[in-house]
Amino acid sequence: MSLLKFNFESVYLKSNFEISIILPDKPRDITPREFYGRNKNYKVLWLLHGTYGDHTDWSRKTNIELYACEKELVVVMPSALNSNYSNWDKATMGFDMYDYIIEELMPMVYNWLPVSDAREDNYIAGLSMGVRGALKYAVNYPEKFKAAAILSSAPVDYSELTEERLMKNGRGVTERLRGMVENAGGVEAFVNSNENAWAIIDKLLANGDTLPDLLFACGTQDDLAYENLLIFKQHAEEIGLGAEFWIVDGYKHEWRFWDISIQRALAFFGL
C-alpha cells in the first residue's frame, strides 16, 4: 500500500496542516516506467473523520488502505479538528474548513495527483462529525460528487430552532451548534445557510434537481445517531428521497461498525 502524508501551509486554515492520501500500488508484473507513465486518472474518495479525530483515523482504525488498493481508488483524508467542517471566522486568525476542502484541497489534489475531477469519479463519505462535512458538501455541491456515504449520523430538522432553545441544554443543542449559529449570524441566517442539509435536500427535490446517490448507515445501538436517523428516514420516505438506509443490529458508535460500513459504502458506490 502507498500512503502519502503531506504537510502544507493552507490559505483557508491560516496554518500548516496535514492530509493523508492513499494511492494505488504498482502491480509487481508491471515496470515502474509503464505504471507511473500511463497517465491514468483514478477515482477518488474524500473521506472525513469524526470529532477528536484527524487525518490518520481511518488508516489507523480500519482497513481502508486494503479496500482502496483492491479497487485502485485514491482516498484523500484531511484533518478538520472539531470544526464540523464549517467556517469559523472568529477562531484564531480564521479557520475556514468548509471553504478549504472545496477551494484549496480539491484543486491541489486534482492538479498535483493522478485523480479525476469528473463528477462520476468522485465520492465523499464521513463518520459522525464527518457526516456534517460529507453531507454538507454533497448537497451544496451536487455537481461535484456522484455519491455520498453518511455513516452514523443524519440531517437534523432546524426549522424549529430558536434563540431560546439554543440557551438550553436540550437534545441536540451543543456548544458547537451555538458557535455555528453565531458564526452564521444568528438562528435565521443559520437555518438558511449551507449548514442546513435537511432543508437543502427538501429544496433540491422540490426543484427536481439532481442529488448525489445517498447511503445512510447506522447501528441500532448507536445512542448518538440512531434516533435521529429514524426521524430522517421517515422524512425521506415522505418526500420521496431515493436514498438507501443500511441499519445493522447491535453496533454502537464505534470503529467496528465504520470498518464494515465503509466496505458497504464502496459497494454502494459501485467500486
Taking alpha carbons only, the member of 162, 178, 160, 4 closest to residue 84 is 178
Of 117 and 39, the one with more pLDDT: 117
What are the b/e assignments for 126-156, b being 16+ CB within 10 Å? bbbbbbbbbbbbbbbbbebbbbbbbbbbbbb
Mean pLDDT within 54-60: 97
Question: With 80 as the cut, is the pLDDT of residue 220 above it?
Answer: yes
Confidence (pLDDT) at 244: 98
State residue 207's pLDDT score. 96
Task: Look up residue 26 and give its DSSP letter.
Answer: P
The domain made up of 2-158+212-268 is a member of CATH 3.40.50.1820 = yes
Q: What is the mean pLDDT of residues 36-52?
A: 94
Task: Return the H-helix or E-strand segment holding 86.
Answer: none
Task: Quote the distance between the C-alpha of residue 268 and its chain's center.
Answer: 15
pLDDT in tens, 107-129: 999 999 999 999 999 999 999 99
Between CA 87 and CA 65 the distance in angstroms is: 29
Least confident of 147-161, 171-185, 210-224, 233-247: 171-185
Give the burial class of 110: count Cβ atoms within 10 A of its Cβ; 0-12 exposed, 13-18 middle, 19 or more buried.
Answer: middle
- Confidence check: pLDDT of 104 > 60: yes
Report whether 58 contacts 77 (CB < 8 A): yes
Answer yes or no: is pLDDT of 215 > 80. Answer: yes
Measure the CA–CA gap between 101 and 108, rounded to whole angstroms.
10
Amino acid at the residue 90: K
Q: What are phi and psi of 235, to 5 degrees?
A: -65, -40
With helix as H, strand as E and coil as C, how does 27-89 read? Answer: CCCCCHHHHHCCCCCECEEEEECCCCCCCCHHHHHCCHHHHHHHCCCEEEEECCCCCCCCEEC
Q: In this predicted model, which residue has the larger pLDDT, 109 or 37?
A: 109
Query: Given pLDDT bands bounded at 50, 70 and 90, which one contains residue 178?
Result: confident
User: Model-level pTM?
Assistant: 0.95
CA distances from 92 to 13, 95, 138 (A): 10, 7, 28
The half-sphere exposure of 232 on its side-chain side, counting CA atoms within 13 A, is 28
Residues 6+ apart with CB under 8 A from 194: 98, 136, 140, 200
Cβ within 8 Å of residue 104, ≥6 positions away: 10, 11, 12
